[in-house]
Amino acid sequence: MAKRNKDKKKKSSIREWGEALLFAAIVVPILNIFVVQSYAIPTSSMEGSMLVGDKLFVSKLHYGPRIPNTPLALPFMHNTIPFLGGRSFSELIKLPYWRLPSFTSIKNNDVVVFNYPDDYKRALPVDKRENYIKRCLGIPGDSLSVLEKQVYINGKMVDNPEHLQGLYLIETNGLSFSESQLKELDINIEEYVARNRQRSANQLRMFLDVDKVEKIRKFSNVVNIKPIIAQADVPDNCYPNQSGEFNWNKDNYGPIYLPKKGDKIRLNRKNYLLYEKNIRIYENNPTLAWKGDRAHIDGKPIKNYTFKMDYYWMMGDNRDNSLDSRMWGMVPEDHIVGKPIFVWMSNCKHCSFPKIRWGRCMRTVSSLVE
């Protein structure tokens, strides 16, 4: 009898472990897909507002959870198998884009997590493209432009985030910045050294927000400080990378119209270059081509195109150190992942020893980015 009770106890313990593993393997991934997911800030493109090492919870409910395009996937892995390499998903089953109802929509200046659109070049399904986090400057139906770094929406100047960062030229009396000065400014020392390795000590460049600029002005070794702004009408590699048609650069850009679902736009040679990626890649018209004086789909000429999705314009708060919509164009609605709502942990990645930023832990994202 005692032995039988002992066997029952063992079975009960095994059952408990089994139930726990089942919960972890099934329930947690479902919560990640449809409710909330943890996400870590990987780069400094949002620096000033969000820092490298911030770990946040991203709500899928705000903008509506997506049904996965690739439901056959290993849990807890995004697109690759750690250490082993190879894809963590199978495309044997592919589902079309479908999003469950949301309880809010993306608004101008919202910070948004989305899939990196240009990952189509790696032949990744939409839901397996890398996760990016940026600020949404333009929403569907907006006309956006940038003039000497300042963003305008529909001709009106946009209020900048409190901790917006830009690249500044700092003239010194010949003395470079000390380690204590850089720590006072909370500057990534490795990044600072790399950026200024080939420069003289009296001509330095740093990514700074307004508060840091004012602190630097008071340093005894600083003679002058000013923002670095690209000259208008001198094109760089900004989207759509057609310098012969658009003399745009990252500081002087647009105007560009962001289509909304149902918009019927008459295509000409110039706006075709702006919308070609949207129509051919994101809206799945692989035969799209410009022939003669008109666009063609499936060999048939078209004058107008009606868009099937909404499009957004994303930019980093560290404006001069951000690969964003100025480089790769608009973000389609099916790439939207969710809204970051809460920072639960923040580790300083560039500190000389591991450091937790306690002042950022357990903070709402809205309190950090507005």
The pLDDT of residue 193: 81
H/E run at residue 331: strand 331-332
Residue written as token pair 């010194």: 172
The pLDDT value recorded for residue 5 is: 53
Residue 11 clears pLDDT 70, i.e. is over it: no
User: Is residue 353's pLDDT more than 70?
Assistant: no
Cα(335)–Cα(21) distance, integer angstroms: 31
Per-residue pLDDT, averaged over 26-52, amounts to 88
d(C-alpha 335, C-alpha 329), whole Å: 13
Q: Where in the chain is the domain with CATH 3.30.70?
A: 166-227
Give the model's confidence band at 352: pLDDT under 50 very low, under 70 low, under 90 confident, else very high: low
CB 183 within 8 A of CB 227: no
Residue partners of 217: CB distance under 8 A and separation at least 6: 225
Token couple for 130: 């890398």
Structure tokens belonging to residue 19: 């139930």
Residue 275 in this model has a pLDDT that exceeds 90: yes
In the numeric block, the tokens 């994303």 are attached to 314
The pLDDT of residue 7 is above 60: no
Q: What is the pLDDT of residue 350?
A: 62
Radius of gyration for the chain, computed over Cα atoms and rounded to the nearest angstrom: 24
CA pair distance 25, 48, nearest whole angstrom = 37
Q: What is the CATH code for 166-227?
A: 3.30.70
Yes or no: domain 20-137+334-370 corresponds to CATH 3.40.830.10:
no
Residue type, 23: F
Query: 23-34 pLDDT, tens per residue?
Result: 777 888 888 889
Locate tokens 């006072």: which residue?
184
Quote the DSSP letter at residue 289. Answer: E
What's residue 349's pLDDT?
A: 66
Question: Would the pLDDT of 109 be above 80?
Answer: yes
- Residue 152 pLDDT more than 90? yes
CA–CA separation, 80 vs 87, rounded Å? 4
Q: What percent of the chain has pLDDT over 70?
A: 95
Overall average pLDDT of the 223-241 stretch: 92
Beta bridge pairs of residue 256:
144
Q: What is the pLDDT of residue 354?
A: 66
Query: Given this model, what pLDDT does residue 208 score?
Result: 92
- Residue 269: its H or E element: helix 269-277
pLDDT tens track for 177-227: 888 888 888 777 777 887 787 777 788 888 999 999 999 998 989 999 999
Contact 335, 343 (CB under 8 A): no
Ranges of CATH 2.10.109.10 domains, the chain: 20-137+334-370
The predicted-structure confidence for 72-95, as pLDDT tens digits, reads as follows 998 888 999 988 889 999 999 999
**Model's pTM, two decimal places?**
0.91
Mean pLDDT computed over 283-311: 96
